[in-house]
A and B are shown apart, each in its own frame.
Chain A
């Protein structure tokens, strides 16, 4: 069946959801990532899917687009049980997915028209020779149907000459050309400016009016507020919230960011109050172009928790302080002295250590033992005349295992043998080999079980009690409240709340985030 002959979307059986999930579950290597998710998506509606990183959104999308096939539960398309055995099968059933990364959708070197009518090129049967005229005609038809207003001259250009928003529209147009039943948009505006996003929203509204069901995944709550008819929240693999418009944002954010209430009892004893000395003092630091610069003091003897949604600027703040991506404006002082690290090595020399957000990409050396991974930043102190003293290195490995409670065979195990939480302990432990002046932990609890989270949090608090400044950045309100003396709410690169102890009450933090949207 040619993709252009997909079942038409204009005649959904009355009352039948376009796509219905019943008790869909999924586990990887014994770890449950989706647990009995049931969701109906009606034709002609926009359903927003919200969830923190690791909540199971991408798994759900991959099931619907036929990438993950070994899931539990049932998927029905237009009322009929459907087997989404491959991406092709999903497309033939009328489920089209537009992925976050635009680069994956276009083929550089081909023209705009060829990219637009790519489904024609990708067919297995038919004339093996390119028929330029036919392709162009099909491309014209597609662009006219969506009122893109693209001229023939533009259609004949190389696709790489298009700007990022036009590429995004192209991919969307291509998906729509097949008249899908369900269109999944995964963070479609993450690379677009406000004006460009407006254009996309107009298209989404046109789709809805045409009877297409849209599953809209985004972290931008403003967009969801404007576009969606309904929102659902995934948290730890479960649907925890289902609202129709108008949305109750406090409830939605609570469902997305905060844990069940019983988990929040273990709040630290706050010794707060700005009585400690300032270790890092930020003045006029701009995290994003066009945003108000921020001032922030990070004090010794306490844990400062920065909480904010994805894109709030947490990672930018952490990487700037560590010299991984230096700030473009503003000044920072460390213990009263000017501090402007140009590379991580400068920061480490000054006693500022960073546990990065993504431990696999940015911290661990694959195939290396636990001890070798731990000693890497301070290898010099484990060597004499350049020769590595492996006995000393192993001893450090054992000390770290002991101090952080790493569950492992021994210090010679490779990091791949460890669970996520234990890998994270290794990454944290590496930065404690030499006592830091400031320890920055960016999303230290992501993909980490609760036991490991407590161990890491306890270690961070102990470090602060010994006189270091600790900065914890996370999107999870409860994680931050659990470990921090002071809470800072960050949104779009600006500070919206700075509060100690009782003032940093959970509902107030959530309300601040929700008000900053």
Chain B
């Protein structure tokens, strides 16, 4: 192109002239994780009859729904280039708030749901304040809220589990109980599918539409990829980052609702194990489909994969305490996919 306005010229791009080896590698990066998931599923299904039962499969999904929903929140914060470490604690707080509302204050399930979601939003706002306004690095800020929220959860229930009929400080008996309707969140089914699984599916679709199809989701990704360019494109970067943390808090409290419904009492230790699973699921998600960036389907599939592994190994008779080792290994394998291999591909 020398002088006049040059017309667009069709040119071949390097990626179309890839060698067979590179093509295989691309395929491995893109579909490797889905392949592993399907292969493991088939292995468990063929070798263990009980794994094939639909009840087991639905239970697996029910089991992973909490970590998956928390993982969706983490995915949103990963998209803006941040990280929310407080999701597990927020879910735990949700359990306490639900128990307190229904058992101690004798309120109906709807009130409990509103209270739990509000608590999640408040913690999200606190995270946003620390990160966006006070400029504390995301990981450290949410680690701080993790501790505060975990402590707050104990303060709320005086450090003990709340059970229906328990004796309160003033000597009276707790007036309320977990309502039937509330317990149905995890235990009830619609057309044979557990409500918690439906919530997981619904939120996955909603989060996917939001992140991948709306301009707000596009903007979140833009901020994660190049915050200064986003600001200079006229984006209110702070407001969008705050939005990601508030949504993450609300999603985490939805996880808390399911957890509360599952446990059926105000268990003080609830939610602690969920944090690492949620973060793991979201990080595994970045490698699924070889996108190398946080994405909703990746997170959902990552959760399903971890569910299959956990259930499969349990049926195989592996003790529960080996699960963490296996989950950790899966996470590291996923990170090799997302970082090591993808980097090499783009290099």
Contact = CB atoms under 8 A, between A and B. Distances in A.
Nearest to A427: B229
Contacts of B9: 407
A388 B8 contact: no
B1 interface: yes
Contacts of B230: 365, 376
B222 A388 contact: no
A109 interface: no
Contact of A409 (B7, B11, B222): B11
A388 B13 contact: no
B221 to A, nearest CB: 8
A337 B14 CA distance: 51
B226 A345 contact: no
B6 A455 contact: yes
A407 B11 contact: yes
A403 to B, nearest CB: 9
Nearest to A386: B214
The winner among A366, A368, A376, A450 for most chain B CB atoms within 10 A is A376
A405 B6 contact: yes
Given A354-B232, A365-B229, A388 B218 contact: yes
B235 A345 contact: yes
Contacts of B172: none
Contacts of B236: 343, 345
A407 B13 contact: no
B91 interface: no
A344 B11 contact: no
Contacts of A407: 1, 6, 8-9, 11
A208 interface: no
B233 A405 contact: no
A423 interface: no
B345 interface: no
A372 B221 CA distance: 11
B109 to A, nearest CB: 31
Contacts of B222: 365, 368, 376
Given A344-B234, A345-B234, A367-B225, A451 B2 contact: yes
B215 A344 contact: no
Interface in B1-22: 1-3, 5-14
Interface string A89-121: 000000000000000000000000000000000
Given A409-B13, A451-B3, A454-B3, A388 B228 contact: no
B10 A365 contact: no
A: interface residue count bin:
35 or more
A272 interface: no
Contacts of B232: 322, 324, 344, 354, 356, 362-363
Interface in A332-368: 343-345, 347-349, 354, 356, 361-368
Interface in B194-245: 209, 213-216, 218-219, 221-222, 225-226, 228-236
A394 to B, nearest CB: 14
Interface stretch (A225-233, A377-385, A468-476, A493-501): A377-385
Contact of A366 (B7, B225, B235): B225
A408 B9 CA distance: 6
Given A372-B218, A376-B233, A361 B228 contact: yes
Interface string B182-201: 00000000000000000000
A408 B8 contact: yes
A367 B9 CA distance: 21
Contact of B213 (A363, A376, A388, A452): A388
B298 to A, nearest CB: 15
B225 A368 contact: yes
A283 interface: no
Contacts of B209: 387
Contacts of A354: 232
A365 B5 contact: no
Contacts of A410: 10
A344 B1 CA distance: 34
A458 interface: yes
Contacts of A449: 1
A388 B233 contact: no
A377 B216 contact: no
Contacts of A413: 13
A488 interface: no
A502 interface: no
A417 interface: yes
Contact of B13 (A344, A349, A365, A417): A417
Interface in A396-443: 401-402, 405-410, 413, 417, 430
Given A362-B228, A364-B229, A387-B214, A405 B5 contact: yes
A16 B345 CA distance: 48
Contacts of A367: 225, 293
A383 B215 contact: yes
A362 B230 CA distance: 8
Contact of A401 (B2, B8, B213, B234): B8
B214 A388 contact: yes
Max chain B Cβ within 10 angstroms of own Cβ: one of A405, A413, A452: A405
A368 B3 CA distance: 29
Contacts of B231: 324, 343-344
Contacts of B218: 372, 376, 379, 388
Contacts of B3: 451, 454
A161 to B, nearest CB: 24
B294 to A, nearest CB: 13
Given A345-B234, A376-B233, A402 B8 contact: yes
B117 to A, nearest CB: 21
Nearest to A407: B9
A444 to B, nearest CB: 15
A324 B6 CA distance: 33
Contacts of B11: 407-409
A405 B7 contact: yes
Contacts of A387: 209, 213-215
B190 to A, nearest CB: 28
Given A376-B233, A379-B218, A366 B6 contact: no
A380 B215 contact: yes
B215 A382 contact: yes
A356 B10 CA distance: 28
B230 to A, nearest CB: 8
B76 to A, nearest CB: 15
Contacts of A344: 231-234
B5 A377 contact: no
A398 to B, nearest CB: 8
Contacts of A417: 13-14
9 closest Cβ pairs, A-B complex: A451-B1, A348-B234, A405-B6, A386-B214, A377-B233, A379-B215, A345-B234, A383-B215, A376-B233
Given A407-B6, A407-B9, 10 more contacts: A361-B228, A363-B229, A364-B229, A365-B226, A376-B218, A383-B214, A405-B6, A408-B8, A409-B10, A409-B11
5 contacts: A344-B232, A362-B228, A367-B293, A407-B11, A409-B12
